[in-house]
Amino acid sequence: MSAWKPDILEEFERLDLPLPAVAVAAGEPPDQEMVATLIRRTPGNQSRRALLYVHGWNDYFFQTHHADFWAGIGFDFYAIDLRRYGRSLRSGQLHGFITNLDDYAAELDAALEVISADHDQVLLMGHSTGGLVATLWAAQHQDQLVGLVLNSPWLDLQGSAVVRALGTPVIQALGSSRPTSFLKLPDAGLYKRAMHLSHGGEWDYDLELKTSPSPPLRAGWLRAILQGHQRVAAGLDLQIPVLAMCSTKTDFRRRWHEDIRSVDNVLDVDQIASRAALLGRHVTIVRIDRGVHDLVLSAPEVREQVFAEMRRWVGAYLDAPE
């Protein structure tokens, strides 16, 4: 495994996690390495407990203020850019493509091995699609985690405009027969307009790593998501404590209006809350008024509420490190 090296973000460093067993997809160059990237806030190993964050679709880790929050309450912060995303995407690779969400165990297992070498407690967190990935992986690794935090997780197959537009049978058929075929959906650029500094938002993220419009959805990827949703619906029986957070309001309108800066315009938040209640025996559900899809990117006073809720949950349900 390679050594830690400076990251694109100041006061962070990154570690390549090679994935030599991962096969290239049809149309991908065979000579490009397949890796995931582990990112950590420096200085590392200041605490015996750590948090590992998993991003969502068309995303990468850039939310440094989020890392600062966890460091402030005693967690060393780590994030992972999954294969074919962000720092891990290589030229010619299919952005975000995968056909089975369980395949992400390769990089998540590797990340946990690195983190566990210096930490006694690991808390897992996922956002949106990363919330689904984290939930499924946590269900099979509960003995290695102290808890699970979900930020607007995509837990329900009917919980987005994508599925309503295409229909489940179409997705299943195409995903099986032509997994790399893409499903181009309209993207009015509303998320970028609401979030990015160049359009009046607050956040100056890299538009090469988090693009607008979004990359085309691949049929095999979407089929994998639906299969993950079906597993959630069947029940995972999580025994570890879970915090599931989402906004109080969804708005799927495709025309710009200022309210987009204070709603979830990606997923159905009522369905998130309903599905989250079925994840396990000890689930705390928190609804955030005026929260956007990535709750930690909400307006300053709103994200302070998000941080307050996470701080309260940690204090109530996670043991302090010895």
pLDDT-based confidence at residue 62 (cuts at 50, 70, 90): very high
Angle of CA points 48, 50, 51, to nearest 5°: 165
Sign, CA dihedral 310-312-316-320, equals: positive
Q: In the prediction, which pLDDT does 157 show?
A: 73
Residue 166 has pLDDT above 90, yes or no: no
CA distances from 214 to 121, 175, 189 (A): 35, 19, 9
Tell me what percent of the residues of the chain surpass a pLDDT of 90.
Answer: 77
CA distances from 196 to 55, 238, 299 (A): 17, 36, 13
Q: Which own/partner contact pairs does 319-322 have at CB distance under 8 Å and 24+ positions apart?
A: 319/121, 319/146, 321/47, 321/48, 321/49, 321/74, 321/120, 321/121, 322/48, 322/120
Give the Cα separation of 115 and 165 in Å (integer).
Answer: 40
pLDDT-based confidence at residue 162 (cuts at 50, 70, 90): low
pLDDT-based confidence at residue 322 (cuts at 50, 70, 90): very low
Render pLDDT for 234-272 as a digit per residue (tens, 0 to 9). Answer: 999 999 999 999 999 999 888 888 889 999 999 999 999
Please say whether the beta carbons of 147 and 262 come within 8 A. Answer: no
Residue closest to 131 by CA, chosen among 238, 21, 41: 238
Q: In the prediction, which pLDDT does 188 show?
A: 76
pLDDT-based confidence at residue 182 (cuts at 50, 70, 90): confident
Please tell me which residue, 190 or 83, carries the higher pLDDT value: 83
Strand locations in the chain, DSSP E?
Answer: 5-6, 12-18, 35-41, 49-54, 76-81, 121-127, 147-151, 182-183, 217-218, 242-247, 283-288
Q: What domains, with CATH codes, occur in the chain?
A: 7-317 (3.40.50.1820)
Sign, CA dihedral 235-160-106-230, equals: positive
Q: In the prediction, which pLDDT does 81 show?
A: 98
Q: In the prediction, which pLDDT does 172 show?
A: 63
Give the Cα separation of 35 and 90 in Å (integer).
Answer: 9
Supply φ then ψ for residue 39, to 5 degrees: -120, 140
Which residues does residue 36 pair with via DSSP β-bridges, in sequence order?
17
Supply φ then ψ for residue 192, to 5 degrees: -60, -45
Render pLDDT for 119-153 as a digit per residue (tens, 0 to 9). Answer: 999 999 999 999 999 999 999 999 999 999 999 99
Q: Please tell me what DSSP assigns to residue 2.
A: P
Lowest-confidence range among 114-118, 222-226, 254-258? 254-258
Rg (alpha carbons) of the chain, rounded to whole number: 18
Lowest-confidence range among 111-125, 140-154, 174-188? 174-188
Give the Cα separation of 132 and 227 in Å (integer).
Answer: 11
State the average pLDDT over residues 220-238: 92
pLDDT-based confidence at residue 179 (cuts at 50, 70, 90): confident
Average pLDDT value for the chain: 91
Residue bearing tokens 């959906």: 185
Locate all alpha helices (DSSP H) within 161-299, ordered by sequence: 161-166, 168-177, 190-195, 219-234, 269-276
Rounding to the nearest 10 degrees, give the CA dihedral for residues 276, 278, 282, 285. 30
CA distances from 280 to 23, 42, 51, 155, 213 (A): 34, 34, 20, 13, 36
The three-state secondary structure class of 121 is: strand
Residue bearing tokens 């060393």: 76
Residues 6+ apart with CB under 8 A from 241: 146, 147, 148, 282, 283, 284, 313, 317, 318
CA distances from 256 to 71, 100, 198, 290 (A): 36, 35, 16, 17
State the average pLDDT over residues 53-79: 97
